Structure 1
Amino acid sequence: MKGTPVTIKDIAKALNISISTVSRALRGMPEIHESTRTAVIKLAEELDYQPNQLAKNLAKSRTKTIGVIVPNLSYYFFSAALNSIEEAAMQAGYSVMVCQSNESYLREVTNIQNLLRGQVEGFIISLARDTNDYSHIHKLMRKEVPLVLFDRYADEIEATKVIVNNKEAAFKATEHLLENGCKKIGFLAGPPNLLISTQRLMGYKEALEKHGIAFSNTNVFHTDFTQDNTVIKTLEMMSTLNPDGIVAVSDRIAFSAMFALKQKGLRIPEDVAVVSFNNEPICTLLSPTLSSVSQPVQEMGTEVVRLLLRQIENEHKLPVETKILETNLIVRESSARK
Structure 2
Amino acid sequence: MRSTPVTIKDIARALNISISTVSRALRGMPEIHADTRAAVMRLAEELDYQPNQLAKNLLKSRTRTIGVIVPNLSYYYFSAMLNSIEEAAMQAGYSVLVCQSNESYLREATHVQNLLRSQVEGFIISLSRDTDNCEHVDRLVRKGIPVVLFDRYADSIAADKVIVNNQEAAYNATMHLIENGCKRIAVLAGPPQLLISNERLAGYRAALTNAGLVEDKSYILHCDFTPERTRQQALALMKLPEPPDGLLTISDRIALVALFALKEKGLRIPDDLAVVSFNNEPLCDFLTPSLSSISQPIQEMGMETVRLLLKQIEAADTEAYVPETKVMSTELVIRESSRKRK
TM-score bucket (shorter structure):
0.7 to 0.9
Q: How does 1:120-159 map to 2 (within 5 A)?
A: 120-159=120-159
The answer to whether the 8 A contact 1:65-1:94 is kept is: yes
Call closer, same or farther: CA 1:105–1:54 in 2, change over 3 Å.
closer
List alignment gaps of at least 5 residues for structure 1. 16-33
SS of 2:141's partner is: helix
Call closer, same or farther: CA 1:303–1:277 in 2, change over 3 Å.
same
Matching residue of 2:278? 277
Which residue identity does 2:243 align to in structure 1?
A: N
Matching residue of 1:56? 58
SS of 1:252's partner is: helix
Aligned residues between the structures: 313
The answer to whether the 8 A contact 1:147-1:308 is kept is: yes
75-84 or 312-321, which moves further after superposition?
312-321
Call closer, same or farther: CA 1:58–1:259 in 2, change over 3 Å.
same
For 1:121-169, what per-residue CA distance to the aligned partner results, in whole angstroms no more than 9, with x for missing partners? 1000000000001111111111111000000001221211000000000
Matching residue of 2:295? 294
For 1:222-272, what per-residue CA distance to the aligned partner results, in whole angstroms no more than 9, with x for missing partners? 111111110100011111141111011111110011111101101111111
Matching residue of 2:308? 307
Call closer, same or farther: CA 1:13–1:100 in 2, change over 3 Å.
closer
Which residue identity does 2:327 align to in structure 1?
A: I
Offset, 1:195: 0.8
Is structure 2 residue 215 aligned with structure 1 residue 215? yes
Work out which of the residue numbers 321, 337, 340 in structure 2 matches 1:337: 340
Matching residue of 1:31? none
Matching residue of 2:102? 102
Q: Distance in 1 between matches of 2:335 and 2:8?
A: 64
Q: Distance in 2 between matches of 1:178 and 1:64?
A: 50
The answer to whether the 8 A contact 2:292-2:338 is kept is: yes
Offset, 1:56: 3.5
Call closer, same or farther: CA 1:242–1:46 in 2, change over 3 Å.
closer
Q: Distance in 2 between matches of 1:274 and 1:54?
A: 50
Call closer, same or farther: CA 1:97–1:12 in 2, change over 3 Å.
closer
Q: Distance in 1 between matches of 2:180 and 2:157?
A: 39
Q: How does 1:19-58 map to 2 (within 5 A)?
A: 38=23, 47-48=47-48, 55-58=57-60
Q: Distance in 2 between matches of 1:285 and 1:332?
A: 11
Offset, 1:14: 7.8
TM-score normalised to structure 2 length = 0.86
SS of 2:60's partner is: helix
Call closer, same or farther: CA 1:140–1:336 in 2, change over 3 Å.
same
The answer to whether the 8 A contact 2:59-2:145 is kept is: no
Q: Distance in 2 between matches of 1:186 and 1:11?
A: 52
Q: How does 1:220-239 map to 2 (within 5 A)?
A: 220-239=220-239
Matching residue of 2:85? 85
TM-score normalised to structure 1 length = 0.87
The answer to whether the 8 A contact 2:55-2:119 is kept is: no
Q: Distance in 1 between matches of 2:322 and 2:333?
A: 35
Matching residue of 1:264? 265
Call closer, same or farther: CA 1:7–1:260 in 2, change over 3 Å.
same
Which protein is bigger by CA-based radius of gyration?
Answer: 1
Which residue identity does 2:264 align to in structure 1?
A: Q
SS of 1:115's partner is: helix
The answer to whether the 8 A contact 2:246-2:274 is kept is: yes
The answer to whether the 8 A contact 1:270-1:337 is kept is: no
